[in-house]
Chains A and B, each alone.
Chain A
Amino acid sequence: MIVPRNPLLIAFSRKMIMFFVMIAFGLPVLLGIFGVMLPAMGYFPALGFEQLSFGPARQFLETPGIVAASWLSVKTGILATALSLVCCFVILIGVTNSRALPLMRRWLGPLVAVPHSAMAIGLVFLLAPSGWLMRLLSPAVTGFEQPPDWSLVPDPHGWLLVFGLMAKEIPFLVMVSLGAIATLPTLKLQHIGNSLGYSRLAAWGLLILPLVYRQIRLPVVAVLVFSLSVVDMALLLAPSLPPPLAILVLHGFLDADLAARLPASVGALVQIGIGIGGVAIWLLVEFLFSCLTNTMRRRGWRLGIADKLLPLLVGAAFVPLVAASAGLGAAFLWSVAGSWFFPNAFPQKLHFLHWQDYAGYLPLFKNSVWLASAATLSAIFVVLLWLYTAPRHALPTKWLVGMLYLPFFIPQISFLLGMQISLSRFGLDGTWLAVIWAHVIFILPYIWFILAPAHRALDTRFDDIAATLGAAPWQRFWRLHLPLMAYPLGAAVFIGMSVSVALYLPTLFVGSGRINSITVEAVSLAAGGSRGPAGVAAMLQIAIPLLSLTLIHLALRWRFSRFSGMHSGGLQ
C-alpha cells in the first residue's frame, strides 16, 4: 500500500519503462537493418572486406533471374493481399447478420491458428498433379492412369503461392474485420442502403466496408508486407526458377561462401525497398478505389443485378478456405498412410508407424509449447506493464507504438540476419532467452493490437466505485481489470500462441539450429519430401494453438459463463 507518491519519481519510472520497452523490442529491428547495411556497402572486416564499394550491389544485380525474382515477389505479394481482402469483404457481405455467422466463427478460429507452413504442406498434398484431389478424380473422371505433367505445385507464375497466402490471410482478415464490424451499426446501415434502392452488395461496398477498412488498414498493410517477403510458404509453394526475392536472399545468407552474404545483404535492403514500394502501390490503389467508390456514390449506382451474383462470389471466396481445410485432411491421411500410390483415392495401407515415432517429435513439440507460452506471457506482461505505466496520449507513446509495429512493416529476412550476427557475437544465439525474446518481438504488436483497445474501453467508473470502496490500485487491477479484460486476454493468449508456433525464420535464425521448433522441423521434412513425417509434424503444429484455443474457451466458459456482457473484444 505504500506506493511512492513523488510525481517526479513516477514520471521518471514511467519513462524508464518506455525506454526499456523501446530498447528491448523495437531497437533490435533497427539494429538488425543496420547490421545488413554495412555488408551491403561492401564493409565486412571479418571477411577481409574493409573498403566501401558498390561491388556487392553489382554482384546482386548480376544474380541470375534477379529481376524475375523481384517481380515475382511484388506480384504475388500484392495479388495475394488484394484478393484476400476482396474475399474477406465478400465473406463479410455474405455472412454478417446471417445465421451462418456463428458456424463460420467456429471454423475461422482454428484456420487462423494453422501455421503458414502446415497450410502449405496441406495444399501441396492436395493440389499437386499427383495430389489428393487428382487421386480422388482419377482415373474415373480424368482418365489418368499416371499423373499428368501439369505445371502445378509449384507453378511457374506463383499462383499457388498467392492461393496459399489467401488461404492463410482470409481467415485472419475476416477475424479482424468481425472485430471492427462489432463496433458498427451494420444492420442499420444496410437497411438504410436497401431502403434507398441499393443492392446488398452496393450498400456494403459503398457504406459499410469503407468504415470497416479504415479500422483494419494496419493489419492489411501488415499482411501486405508479410506476403511480399514470405519465406516458409514460399519454400513449399513458390516456383524455384527463380524463387521470390526473399528466398534468394535466404540462399545467399546460407551459402557456404560467406562472401555471398554481401550481395544477399543488398537483397535484404532491396526487400525493404520492395516492401515500401508495395505499400506505395497499395496506397495508390487505395486512392484509385476511393475515387471509384466516390464516383459510384455520386452517380448513385445501385448495382441491382449484383446481388444475383452474390452467392456465387461468396462461394468463390470460400474456395481457398475449403482447399486449406481439405489439404489438412490430406496431411492427416499421409501421416497414417503405409503406402499410397497414384491413382488410389485413399491409402492402400494404414499404419501408425510415423506417429509411433513420437519420441523424435516430442522434444520439438515441447520446445514449441514452451516457446509459445513463455513468449506469449512475456508479451502480455510487457503490454500490460506499459499500458499501466505509460502516460496516456503522451507523444513518446506514439513513437513506442511505431517501434512495436516495426516487425509488421519490415520484412523479417531484412533484419533477422543482422540480429543473428549481433547475437552470435555475444554467444547468445541458440539460447532460450534469445529465441523467446525474438518471438516476443513478433508477438508484441498483435498483443498490443488486441489489448490496447480493450484497456481503453475499460469503464473507468468501475474504478471509481472500487476506489471509494477502498481498493488499492493493484487490487483494482487484479480483481476488476483482469476479469473485465478476460476475453481480450484470452484472445491475446490464443493469437500469441498461434503466432509464436508459426514463426519459422526467427526460430531458424536466432535458434541457430540448437533450439528447434516443430514448425522448423515441419518445413524441413516437407521440403525433404518425407510426406508421412511431414504430415505428423503438421498435425502437431496445429495441435498447439488448437489445444490452447480449447483450453482458453473452457476456462473462460467455466469462470464467466454466469456473467453477461463479458464477450466484447474476445474470441467468442
Chain B
Amino acid sequence: MNLTRPCSLISCCVLLVFAWLHSAAADTKHFDNLMAAAKGQTVYFNAWGGDAKINSYISWAGDIIKQRHGITLSHVKLTDTASAVSRILAEKAAGRTSDGSIDLLWVNGENFAAMKRADLLQPTPWVPHLPNWRFSDATALPAIVSDFAEPTEGKESPWGRAQLVFAYDTARVAAPPKSAAALAAFIAANPGRFTFPQPPDFIGVSFLKQMLIETTKSQPALYRHVDEADFETVTAPLWAWLDAAQPHLWRRGTAYPQNYPVLRQLLGDGEIDIAMAFNPADASASIARGELPDSVRTYIHDGGTLANVHFLAIPFNAAAPEAAQIVANFLLSPEAQIKKADSRVWGDPTVLSMPRLSAADREAFLALPRGVATLSDAALGRSLAEPHPSWVPRLEAAWQQRYASGNQPG
C-alpha cells in the first residue's frame, strides 16, 4: 500500500490497465468507489440470532457503520443459516439475479460449500481487496482461506475463530471427562446428566464430528470427500459410542436441546452437568450475565477439540454488494475485532495476525480481560482440523436415520 514510491505508482498504473482488480492502488480507488456507491444503502445482514450478546455486538457495529459510512445495517436474525442459503437458492430458482433479499451472510463449513457448489456467491473475489485484509495472515492461519478444507477463493471474509469448548459446574462435577472414552464412562455413571444439541444443529453436528474423530483416532479418510470412504465402516465406532450413551442421556435420549444456548440454559438450570459451545469465552460471558452460576469452568479434551473459522459471504444477487463489503471490511478491522474478542461483549477470538497489527492494537488485544472461566491460549492450543465438509450432510442424515424416527428405546 506504499503509494509514495514512484515505482510503485508506475506499476500501479500499469496494473490498472491490465489487472486493476489486483493492484493495491486500484484497491484503494476501488474501495473509494465502493464507499461512494454504498452510501445510503441498507445491508440485510443474515446472521444466526440466537445469542443476545452476539446480537448486541452486531447492533453496536451497525451504529458505527451508520455514523461513518451512512450505511444502515439490518440484522436479519436467523434460527438456522441453512434457511438463508435456501432462500438465496429459491431466489436463483425464481430467476431473481439482482436485488436479492440477502446482502451479507454469516456462514462457514457445509453451508459455504453448498453456496459455492450452487454458484450462490459473488462471482469475483472481493476479500483480498478489503483494506483491512492486510491485518490478517493466511500463512500463519491457513483456516482463513480454507473453510473446512474448502478454499474460500476470496469469496468470504473471515470474521472470527471458534473452538469447541466444554463447560461444567465445579460445584457438582469434580473432574470433568476429557476424552470420548471418559465421557462415555461419565454418561453411564451419571444417567440423565449429559446431552448435546440435536443434529442438524451446528454444534450438535460438531459434537458428532468431535466424537467421530476421537473414536476413529483421526482416520485420514475423514479429511477426504466422504464418497471416497466406506461411510458405514468408518463411522461404526461413532454409532457404537452413541448407542452405548443414548439410554443414559438427558431424557433418555427421547429429546434433545435444539441449540447450544438452550444447552447452556440446561446447565444453568442444573438439568445437566456439561454443556458445550464453539466459543472459548461463552461460559465467562454467561456467568457475567447471570445465566450460569459463577462456579462454572471450561475444559477441552486431552486430544484437542475441533477448531474452525467463521466467515461473511455476499450472495451473487445481493442488492447492496458494495455496502456489504464495507460492512465486512469494518468487521475485519482491529477496532471491531478487539471489541468482539472482549469476553464482556462476545469473546470471539480474532482472525487477525498479531504481528501485523499496530503496537497499540496489539496491546489492546492483550489487555482484554479473559473472563473467569476462559482457558488460556496455551490450554486451548490443541485443536483438531474439521473433517471434509461432505461428511456433514451424511452424518446428519445417518443420525436422523438412527435416532430421529421416534422408535428408539425409552
Which positions in A face B, CB cutoff 8 Å?
Answer: 44, 46-47, 64-65, 68-69, 72, 128-130, 146-147, 149, 151, 154, 156, 239-242, 253-258, 261, 337-342, 349, 357, 359-360, 420-421, 424-425, 427, 429-430, 512-514, 516, 521, 524-525, 527-533
Contact = CB atoms under 8 A, between A and B. Distances in A.
B393 interface: yes
Contact of B80 (A47, A254, A359): A254
A47 B50 contact: no
Given A253-B86, A424-B94, A149 B192 contact: yes
Interface stretch (B14-22, B29-37, B349-357, B397-405): B397-405
A157 B235 CA distance: 31
Given A151-B251, A240-B255, A241-B198, A513 B99 contact: no
Interface in B47-67: 49-52, 55-56, 59
Given A46-B93, A65-B406, A147-B270, A527 B50 contact: yes
Contact of A430 (B79, B101, B110): B101
Given A149-B192, A425-B94, A254 B404 contact: no
B114 A257 contact: yes
B77 A521 contact: yes
A102 to B, nearest CB: 40
A130 B93 contact: no
B46 A151 contact: no
Contact of A254 (B59, B82, B291): B82
A241 B255 contact: yes
A524 B50 contact: yes
Question: 7 nearest interchain CB pairs?
Answer: A528-B50, A339-B290, A46-B93, A149-B192, A529-B261, A68-B406, A256-B82
Q: Which of A46, A72, A128, A258 has the most chain B CB atoms closer than 10 A to its own CB?
A: A258
Contacts of B400: 64
Given A256-B110, A513-B102, A530-B261, 11 more contacts: A254-B83, A257-B86, A257-B114, A339-B290, A341-B269, A512-B87, A513-B76, A524-B78, A528-B261, A530-B51, A532-B52
Nearest to B118: A258
A74 B251 CA distance: 24
21 contacts: A65-B404, A65-B407, A68-B405, A149-B250, A156-B255, A240-B258, A241-B403, A241-B405, A254-B86, A257-B86, A349-B290, A359-B59, A513-B44, A513-B101, A514-B76, A514-B101, A524-B77, A525-B49, A527-B50, A529-B262, A531-B265
Contacts of A357: 52, 56
Given A64-B401, A147-B271, A151-B255, A427 B99 contact: yes
Interface string B253-286: 0111111011111101111000000000000000
Contacts of A359: 59
Interface in B200-256: 250-252, 254-256
B181 interface: no
Contacts of B76: 513-514, 516
B133 to A, nearest CB: 27
B89 interface: yes
A129 B44 CA distance: 39
Contacts, number: 177
Contacts of A527: 50, 79, 258-259, 262
Contact of B77 (A69, A129, A147, A516): A516
B96 interface: yes
A69 to B, nearest CB: 7
B271 A129 contact: yes
Nearest to B294: A339
Contacts of A242: 404-406
B79 A533 contact: no
A167 B183 CA distance: 41
B256 A241 contact: yes
Contacts of B256: 240-241
Contacts of B95: 46, 425
Nearest to A66: B405
B382 interface: no
A69 B265 CA distance: 27
Interface of B: 44, 46, 49-52, 55-56, 59, 74, 76-87, 89-96, 99, 101-102, 110-111, 114, 118, 172, 191-193, 198, 250-252, 254-259, 261-266, 268-271, 290-291, 293, 393, 400-401, 403-408
Given A46-B92, A239-B254, A524-B50, A149 B82 contact: no
A149 B271 contact: yes
Contacts of A341: 268-270, 293
A256 B261 contact: no
B101 A530 contact: no
Q: Is the interface of A mostly helix, strand, loop or mixed?
A: loop
A241 B51 contact: no
Q: Which of B79, B118, B192 has the most chain A CB atoms closer than 10 A to its own CB?
A: B79
B86 A258 contact: yes
A514 B114 contact: no
Nearest to A429: B101
B400 to A, nearest CB: 5
A104 B229 CA distance: 66
Contacts of B257: 529
A46 B94 contact: yes
Contact of A530 (B50, B93, B118): B50
Nearest to A241: B404
A129 to B, nearest CB: 6
Nearest to B262: A529
A72 B271 CA distance: 26
A357 B110 CA distance: 34
Nearest to B403: A241
B90 A258 contact: yes
Given A44-B93, A349-B290, A527-B259, A256 B85 contact: yes
A359 B60 CA distance: 11
A374 B56 CA distance: 30
Contact of B87 (A425, A513, A524): A513
Contacts of B44: 513-514
A513 B93 contact: no
Nearest to B83: A254
B94 A338 contact: no
A255 B258 contact: no
Contacts of A64: 400-401, 404-405
Contacts of A261: 86, 90
Contact of B74 (A429, A514, A521): A514
Q: Which of B46, B84, B95, B405 has the most chain A CB atoms closer than 10 A to its own CB?
A: B405
B405 to A, nearest CB: 4
A242 B263 CA distance: 19
A13 B83 CA distance: 44
B227 to A, nearest CB: 16
Contacts of A254: 80, 82-83, 86
Contacts of B268: 341
Nearest to A260: B86
A337 B400 CA distance: 37
Contacts of A68: 405-407
Nearest to B198: A240
B56 A360 contact: yes
B170 to A, nearest CB: 15
A183 to B, nearest CB: 45
B406 A241 contact: yes
A513 B265 CA distance: 27
B87 A529 contact: no
Contacts of B263: 529
Nearest to A532: B52
Q: Which of A146, A338, A360, A424 has the most chain B CB atoms closer than 10 A to its own CB?
A: A424
A147 B86 CA distance: 39
A499 to B, nearest CB: 23
Contact of B96 (A349, A425, A516): A425
Nearest to B273: A146
Q: Which of B89, B192, B257, B401 has the most chain A CB atoms closer than 10 A to its own CB?
A: B89
B259 A528 contact: yes
A151 B111 CA distance: 33
A327 to B, nearest CB: 16
